[in-house]
Structure 1
Amino acid sequence: MSSFLNQTTPDEFSNCSIRAIQEKLTEVLNSERNCIQEPRNTEVEIAVCGNGILEPGEQCDCGYDEISCNDPCCYPASISQADRDYNTTGALPCSTNQRKRCVNPPGLVYGIYIPLVFILIASILVIVLLKNDWSRDKTLFRHITHGNIKIVARKRQGVNSLQSSEQEAGLSS
């Protein structure tokens, strides 16, 4: 084709060039590395933020604006200026936000953390109260100390035998 070129641009390809182009296109279309056509048997999914459907690439999708969004931990497709000002690091559409109630949900805080802390503190207080009462006048243990059950402190066997032998020695002299 270059031999036919003069100063003008040709309007048509030669028969030889057309055959070469057709062969190359056929080769590319039939190869594994086909970049001209869509891949066969694959669906292309496009994430649409604000349609209420969680799609690939979205952390959440609660709707288009704050009125239609029922999830306080999800940014809608249209983010208000107040949210943008509050979260300057990344208020992105269809993403979760970093509010305290979203990071630590109330169900977790009021359902697990606070009851566990209450039980732990109450247990410690009861243990300290019972220990102090036991070491003093045992008023909380009257049902044990004033009933048929008596608490008797035992002396060690070695100490008792030593005292009894001293007493016997003192009595005989």
Structure 2
Amino acid sequence: MRRLLVAVAAVLAVLAPGTPAWAHVQLVSADPAKGATLTAAPKAVTLEFSQRLNADFTTIVVSDAARQRVAATPATVDDNRGTVTFTAALGNGTYTVAYRVVSADGHTVQGSYPFTLADPGLPAAVVAVRTAAAEETGGDSIGLFIGVGAGGLFLAAVAASLYFHGRRRAGNRTSP
């Protein structure tokens, strides 16, 4: 009977659901909210998380549609809230809030979300557009440079291998 109880306890221990793991910090709320369309420019972005934040490792960045950072103060942390305050006026357009935070338990979480400013009193947003000429002379050429360099190194390695392999064969033929 005792063996049966031990067997039943073992089966129940294996089949019982595990205890939940400590959850990582999560974004609970945001102002402006994810996907919001605002008719007045916000003065700041405030993010509230599910756990206390480590102020030394909290980053909040807002960028415009051209992926340029918007002028703002460094993030300030108050318990589980992080805030950046804009130091310049925002124009109409779509903005992205990106965050990287470390909770008090040491877990890092990052994410981003958009919001749109459509203030009828502001002029339309000016979006920087890259032209084909700018792309030919711009930063995208670094990938081409790396690719050509890697291809050249590969061809040099193949040529060296063929050269030394050929010399070895020629040396073997002349041996008595």
Name the TM-score class by shorter chain.
under 0.3
- Higher alpha-carbon Rg: 1
Q: TM-score, normalised by structure 1?
A: 0.26
Give the strand-richer structure, 1 or 2: 2
Q: TM-score, normalised by structure 2?
A: 0.26
